[in-house]
Amino acid sequence: MVHFTAEEKSTILSLWGKVNVEEAGGEALGRLLVVYPWTQRFFDSFGNLSSASAIMGNPKVKAHGKKVLTSFGEAVKNMDNLKPAFAKLSELHCDKLHVDPENFKLLGNVMVIILATHFGKEFTPDVQAAWQKLVSGVATALAHKYH
Amino acid sequence: MALSATDRALVRALWKKLGNNVGVYATEALERTFLAFPSTKTYFPHFDLRPGSAQVKAHGQKVADALTLAVDHLDDLPGALSALSDLHARELRVDPANFQLLGQCLLVTLARHFPGDFSPALHASLDKFLSHAISALASKYR
Protein backbone atom coordinates (compact mmCIF):
# COMPACT_ATOMS: atom_id res chain seq x y z
CA MET A 1 0.00 0.00 0.00
CA VAL A 2 1.38 3.41 -0.90
CA HIS A 3 1.94 5.71 2.06
CA PHE A 4 1.50 9.48 1.92
CA THR A 5 3.18 11.81 4.40
CA ALA A 6 1.11 14.54 6.03
CA GLU A 7 2.86 17.04 3.82
CA GLU A 8 2.09 15.12 0.63
CA LYS A 9 -1.57 14.84 1.62
CA SER A 10 -1.91 18.53 2.31
CA THR A 11 -0.10 19.37 -0.95
CA ILE A 12 -2.51 17.20 -2.90
CA LEU A 13 -5.62 18.42 -1.10
CA SER A 14 -4.73 22.05 -1.49
CA LEU A 15 -4.21 21.75 -5.24
CA TRP A 16 -7.26 19.55 -5.73
CA GLY A 17 -9.41 22.22 -4.13
CA LYS A 18 -8.56 24.54 -7.01
CA VAL A 19 -9.15 22.08 -9.86
CA ASN A 20 -12.18 22.59 -12.09
CA VAL A 21 -13.10 18.92 -12.31
CA GLU A 22 -15.38 19.29 -15.31
CA GLU A 23 -12.85 21.20 -17.41
CA ALA A 24 -9.78 19.29 -16.34
CA GLY A 25 -11.53 15.95 -16.78
CA GLY A 26 -12.46 16.71 -20.37
CA GLU A 27 -8.96 17.97 -21.06
CA ALA A 28 -7.29 14.93 -19.51
CA LEU A 29 -9.35 12.39 -21.41
CA GLY A 30 -9.10 14.45 -24.60
CA ARG A 31 -5.33 14.64 -24.41
CA LEU A 32 -5.11 10.90 -23.69
CA LEU A 33 -7.01 10.21 -26.91
CA VAL A 34 -4.89 12.71 -28.90
CA VAL A 35 -1.45 11.82 -27.57
CA TYR A 36 -2.04 8.04 -27.43
CA PRO A 37 -4.50 7.45 -30.28
CA TRP A 38 -4.74 3.72 -29.63
CA THR A 39 -6.66 4.54 -26.46
CA GLN A 40 -9.55 5.51 -28.74
CA ARG A 41 -10.25 1.78 -28.97
CA PHE A 42 -12.49 2.09 -25.92
CA PHE A 43 -14.58 4.88 -27.34
CA ASP A 44 -15.97 3.76 -30.70
CA SER A 45 -19.39 5.05 -29.72
CA PHE A 46 -18.14 8.58 -29.05
CA GLY A 47 -18.56 9.88 -32.60
CA ASN A 48 -16.05 12.23 -34.20
CA LEU A 49 -12.50 11.59 -32.95
CA SER A 50 -10.86 12.34 -36.28
CA SER A 51 -8.61 15.22 -35.22
CA ALA A 52 -7.20 16.86 -32.10
CA SER A 53 -9.78 19.65 -32.25
CA ALA A 54 -12.61 17.17 -32.89
CA ILE A 55 -11.54 15.16 -29.87
CA MET A 56 -11.07 18.13 -27.53
CA GLY A 57 -14.45 19.56 -28.55
CA ASN A 58 -16.35 16.27 -28.49
CA PRO A 59 -19.17 16.52 -25.92
CA LYS A 60 -19.03 12.80 -25.09
CA VAL A 61 -15.32 13.06 -24.38
CA LYS A 62 -15.94 16.03 -22.09
CA ALA A 63 -18.76 14.28 -20.27
CA HIS A 64 -16.82 11.09 -19.79
CA GLY A 65 -13.73 13.01 -18.75
CA LYS A 66 -15.75 14.71 -16.05
CA LYS A 67 -16.96 11.31 -14.85
CA VAL A 68 -13.43 9.94 -14.69
CA LEU A 69 -12.01 12.92 -12.84
CA THR A 70 -14.92 13.04 -10.40
CA SER A 71 -14.10 9.46 -9.58
CA PHE A 72 -10.49 10.48 -9.12
CA GLY A 73 -11.76 12.78 -6.39
CA GLU A 74 -12.42 9.61 -4.39
CA ALA A 75 -8.69 8.93 -4.48
CA VAL A 76 -7.99 12.31 -2.95
CA LYS A 77 -10.45 11.50 -0.13
CA ASN A 78 -9.03 8.02 0.43
CA MET A 79 -5.29 8.32 0.04
CA ASP A 80 -4.69 5.78 2.81
CA ASN A 81 -7.16 3.29 1.37
CA LEU A 82 -6.80 3.41 -2.38
CA LYS A 83 -7.17 -0.32 -3.01
CA PRO A 84 -10.47 -0.76 -1.14
CA ALA A 85 -11.76 2.56 -2.46
CA PHE A 86 -11.24 1.46 -6.07
CA ALA A 87 -12.08 -2.24 -5.67
CA LYS A 88 -15.44 -2.03 -7.43
CA LEU A 89 -14.10 0.17 -10.23
CA SER A 90 -11.19 -2.22 -10.64
CA GLU A 91 -13.57 -5.14 -11.16
CA LEU A 92 -15.58 -3.07 -13.62
CA HIS A 93 -12.53 -2.09 -15.68
CA CYS A 94 -11.39 -5.71 -15.82
CA ASP A 95 -14.60 -7.66 -16.24
CA LYS A 96 -16.83 -5.30 -18.18
CA LEU A 97 -14.64 -2.65 -19.79
CA HIS A 98 -11.56 -4.84 -20.51
CA VAL A 99 -9.13 -1.94 -20.14
CA ASP A 100 -5.41 -2.75 -20.08
CA PRO A 101 -4.08 -1.25 -16.80
CA GLU A 102 -1.25 0.33 -18.79
CA ASN A 103 -3.86 2.92 -19.78
CA PHE A 104 -4.26 4.04 -16.16
CA LYS A 105 -0.57 4.99 -16.11
CA LEU A 106 -0.91 6.91 -19.36
CA LEU A 107 -3.93 8.85 -18.08
CA GLY A 108 -2.20 9.54 -14.76
CA ASN A 109 0.80 11.06 -16.51
CA VAL A 110 -1.45 13.16 -18.75
CA MET A 111 -3.28 14.44 -15.66
CA VAL A 112 0.00 15.51 -14.08
CA ILE A 113 0.94 17.39 -17.24
CA ILE A 114 -2.41 19.21 -17.25
CA LEU A 115 -1.92 20.23 -13.64
CA ALA A 116 1.45 21.63 -14.69
CA THR A 117 -0.12 23.76 -17.45
CA HIS A 118 -2.82 25.04 -15.08
CA PHE A 119 -0.78 25.70 -11.99
CA GLY A 120 2.55 26.80 -13.46
CA LYS A 121 4.81 28.19 -10.78
CA GLU A 122 2.83 26.47 -8.04
CA PHE A 123 3.52 23.07 -9.60
CA THR A 124 6.95 22.72 -8.03
CA PRO A 125 8.97 19.47 -8.12
CA ASP A 126 7.65 18.61 -4.64
CA VAL A 127 4.06 19.07 -5.74
CA GLN A 128 4.64 17.02 -8.87
CA ALA A 129 6.25 14.25 -6.82
CA ALA A 130 3.21 14.01 -4.54
CA TRP A 131 0.88 13.86 -7.53
CA GLN A 132 2.96 11.26 -9.38
CA LYS A 133 2.70 9.16 -6.24
CA LEU A 134 -1.07 9.56 -6.18
CA VAL A 135 -1.66 8.76 -9.86
CA SER A 136 0.63 5.77 -9.55
CA GLY A 137 -1.29 4.61 -6.44
CA VAL A 138 -4.60 4.99 -8.25
CA ALA A 139 -3.29 3.08 -11.29
CA THR A 140 -2.17 0.25 -9.02
CA ALA A 141 -5.46 0.24 -7.10
CA LEU A 142 -7.46 0.13 -10.33
CA ALA A 143 -5.40 -2.83 -11.52
CA HIS A 144 -5.56 -4.62 -8.18
CA LYS A 145 -8.67 -6.73 -8.82
CA TYR A 146 -7.66 -7.84 -12.29
CA HIS A 147 -7.60 -11.53 -12.89
CA MET B 1 4.62 5.91 -35.71
CA ALA B 2 7.26 7.93 -37.62
CA LEU B 3 7.52 11.66 -36.94
CA SER B 4 5.23 13.48 -39.36
CA ALA B 5 6.04 16.81 -40.97
CA THR B 6 3.69 18.44 -38.44
CA ASP B 7 5.45 16.74 -35.52
CA ARG B 8 8.80 17.99 -36.73
CA ALA B 9 7.55 21.53 -37.33
CA LEU B 10 5.97 21.75 -33.87
CA VAL B 11 9.01 20.37 -32.06
CA ARG B 12 11.41 22.63 -33.97
CA ALA B 13 9.25 25.68 -33.31
CA LEU B 14 9.20 24.98 -29.58
CA TRP B 15 12.95 24.38 -29.49
CA LYS B 16 13.52 27.71 -31.20
CA LYS B 17 11.44 29.33 -28.48
CA LEU B 18 13.51 27.62 -25.76
CA GLY B 19 16.59 29.33 -27.21
CA ASN B 20 19.56 29.21 -24.87
CA ASN B 21 17.50 27.97 -21.95
CA VAL B 22 17.27 24.30 -22.85
CA GLY B 23 19.83 23.61 -20.09
CA VAL B 24 17.65 25.34 -17.48
CA TYR B 25 14.62 23.24 -18.39
CA ALA B 26 16.59 20.00 -18.65
CA THR B 27 18.03 20.66 -15.18
CA GLU B 28 14.55 21.26 -13.79
CA ALA B 29 13.39 18.03 -15.46
CA LEU B 30 16.24 16.13 -13.78
CA GLU B 31 15.39 17.60 -10.38
CA ARG B 32 11.77 16.60 -10.88
CA THR B 33 12.81 13.09 -11.91
CA PHE B 34 14.90 12.56 -8.78
CA LEU B 35 12.05 13.75 -6.55
CA ALA B 36 9.12 12.04 -8.26
CA PHE B 37 10.93 8.80 -9.10
CA PRO B 38 13.50 8.24 -6.34
CA SER B 39 14.83 5.00 -7.86
CA THR B 40 16.46 7.14 -10.57
CA LYS B 41 18.85 8.49 -7.95
CA THR B 42 20.56 5.11 -7.82
CA TYR B 43 22.45 6.09 -10.96
CA PHE B 44 23.95 9.14 -9.27
CA PRO B 45 25.44 8.00 -5.95
CA HIS B 46 28.44 10.20 -6.70
CA PHE B 47 26.34 13.35 -7.15
CA ASP B 48 25.12 15.97 -4.75
CA LEU B 49 21.43 15.77 -5.59
CA ARG B 50 20.22 18.63 -3.42
CA PRO B 51 18.26 21.41 -5.15
CA GLY B 52 20.63 23.84 -6.84
CA SER B 53 23.43 21.30 -7.14
CA ALA B 54 26.14 22.35 -9.60
CA GLN B 55 26.58 18.73 -10.64
CA VAL B 56 22.90 18.37 -11.52
CA LYS B 57 23.05 21.67 -13.41
CA ALA B 58 26.06 20.48 -15.40
CA HIS B 59 24.35 17.21 -16.12
CA GLY B 60 21.20 19.05 -17.15
CA GLN B 61 23.24 20.92 -19.73
CA LYS B 62 24.61 17.62 -21.09
CA VAL B 63 21.06 16.27 -21.41
CA ALA B 64 19.98 19.55 -23.04
CA ASP B 65 22.80 19.36 -25.59
CA ALA B 66 21.82 15.79 -26.46
CA LEU B 67 18.17 16.76 -26.89
CA THR B 68 19.12 19.70 -29.09
CA LEU B 69 21.27 17.35 -31.15
CA ALA B 70 18.24 15.12 -31.53
CA VAL B 71 16.01 18.03 -32.57
CA ASP B 72 18.62 19.03 -35.16
CA HIS B 73 18.57 15.52 -36.61
CA LEU B 74 14.93 14.54 -36.56
CA ASP B 75 15.41 12.73 -39.87
CA ASP B 76 17.99 10.38 -38.40
CA LEU B 77 17.64 9.96 -34.65
CA PRO B 78 19.33 6.54 -34.49
CA GLY B 79 22.35 7.92 -36.34
CA ALA B 80 22.56 11.11 -34.30
CA LEU B 81 22.18 9.32 -30.97
CA SER B 82 24.32 6.29 -31.83
CA ALA B 83 27.33 7.31 -29.75
CA LEU B 84 25.13 8.21 -26.78
CA SER B 85 23.37 4.89 -27.11
CA ASP B 86 26.73 3.09 -26.94
CA LEU B 87 27.65 5.10 -23.86
CA HIS B 88 24.41 4.38 -22.03
CA ALA B 89 24.47 0.71 -23.00
CA ARG B 90 28.10 -0.16 -22.36
CA GLU B 91 29.33 2.16 -19.68
CA LEU B 92 26.43 3.78 -17.90
CA ARG B 93 24.09 0.79 -18.20
CA VAL B 94 21.00 2.81 -17.34
CA ASP B 95 17.84 0.73 -17.52
CA PRO B 96 15.89 2.24 -20.45
CA ALA B 97 12.70 2.45 -18.36
CA ASN B 98 14.29 5.46 -16.69
CA PHE B 99 14.40 7.45 -19.92
CA GLN B 100 10.60 7.49 -19.92
CA LEU B 101 10.54 8.84 -16.38
CA LEU B 102 12.84 11.69 -17.42
CA GLY B 103 10.65 12.14 -20.51
CA GLN B 104 7.55 12.60 -18.36
CA CYS B 105 9.34 15.20 -16.22
CA LEU B 106 10.57 17.01 -19.30
CA LEU B 107 7.00 17.25 -20.58
CA VAL B 108 5.82 18.51 -17.18
CA THR B 109 8.60 21.13 -17.12
CA LEU B 110 7.79 22.40 -20.61
CA ALA B 111 4.03 22.34 -19.92
CA ARG B 112 4.59 24.34 -16.78
CA HIS B 113 6.73 27.01 -18.43
CA PHE B 114 4.87 27.21 -21.74
CA PRO B 115 1.21 26.51 -20.93
CA GLY B 116 -0.02 28.67 -23.80
CA ASP B 117 2.06 26.72 -26.33
CA PHE B 118 1.38 23.32 -24.85
CA SER B 119 -1.62 22.44 -26.99
CA PRO B 120 -2.77 18.82 -27.30
CA ALA B 121 -1.10 18.74 -30.74
CA LEU B 122 2.28 19.94 -29.43
CA HIS B 123 1.94 17.61 -26.43
CA ALA B 124 1.40 14.70 -28.82
CA SER B 125 4.31 15.67 -31.11
CA LEU B 126 6.70 16.16 -28.21
CA ASP B 127 5.70 12.86 -26.65
CA LYS B 128 6.29 11.15 -29.99
CA PHE B 129 9.66 12.84 -30.44
CA LEU B 130 10.79 11.81 -26.94
CA SER B 131 9.56 8.30 -27.57
CA HIS B 132 11.65 8.09 -30.75
CA ALA B 133 14.69 9.61 -29.06
CA ILE B 134 14.34 7.09 -26.21
CA SER B 135 14.13 4.24 -28.74
CA ALA B 136 17.25 5.49 -30.45
CA LEU B 137 19.04 5.80 -27.11
CA ALA B 138 18.15 2.23 -26.19
CA SER B 139 18.91 0.83 -29.64
CA LYS B 140 22.44 -0.39 -28.89
CA TYR B 141 21.61 -2.11 -25.62
CA ARG B 142 21.57 -5.63 -27.01
Instruction: Give the pLDDT confidence of B66-83 residue by residue, as tens digits.
Output: 999 999 999 999 999 999
Q: What share of chain A is helix, strand, coil (3-state, %, to 5)?
A: 80, 0, 20
How do residues A113-132 score in pLDDT, each as one tens digit?
999 999 999 999 999 999 99
Say what the pLDDT of residue B95 is: 86
CB contact under 8 A, B32 and A30: no
Testing the interface with B: which of A106, A132, A133, A135 to mutate, by most B Cβ within 10 A? Answer: A132
- Contacts of residue A84, defined as CB under 8 A and 6 or more positions apart, other chains included, come to A78
B120: which chain A residues are within 8 Å (Cβ-Cβ)?
A: 30-31, 34-35, 52, 55-56
**Ramachandran assignment for B37, one of left (phi > 0), alpha (psi -120 to 50 degrees), beta (any other):** beta
Q: How many angstroms separate the CA of residue A26 from the nearest CA in chain B? A: 12
Tens digits of pLDDT across chain A (147 residues): 789 999 999 999 999 999 999 999 999 999 999 999 989 989 989 999 999 999 999 999 999 999 999 999 999 999 999 999 999 999 999 999 989 899 999 999 999 999 999 999 999 999 999 999 999 999 999 999 999
**CA geometry: angle A57, A37, A119, nearest 5 deg:** 60
Lowest mean pLDDT among B18-22, B63-67, B93-97: B93-97
Say what the pLDDT of residue A1 is: 75
Residue of chain B whose Cα is closest to the Cα of A112: B108
Say what the pLDDT of residue B20 is: 94
Say what the pLDDT of residue A86 is: 96
Residue A33: C-alpha distances to residues A26, A53, A105, B112 (Å): 11, 11, 14, 21
Q: Looking at residue B87, what DSSP letter applies?
A: I
CB contact under 8 A, A117 and B36: no
ipTM of the complex: 0.82
How many CA atoms does the CB half-sphere of B85 hold within 13 Å?
18
Residue A145: strand, helix, or coil = coil
CB contact under 8 A, B120 and A55: yes
Say what the pLDDT of residue A3 is: 92
Please check whether residue B47 is in contact with residue B17, taking contact to mean a CB–CB distance below 8 angstroms.
Answer: no
Residue B7: strand, helix, or coil = helix
Say what the pLDDT of residue A2 is: 86
Say what the pLDDT of residue B90 is: 87
CB contact under 8 A, A125 and B119: no
Q: Which of B122, B125, B89, B127 lies closest to B106 in space, CA to CA?
A: B127
d(CA A10, CA A80) in angstroms, rounded, equals 13
CB contact under 8 A, B123 and A126: no
For residue B1, pLDDT over 70 is answered with: no
B111: which chain A residues are within 8 Å (Cβ-Cβ)?
A: 113-114, 116-117
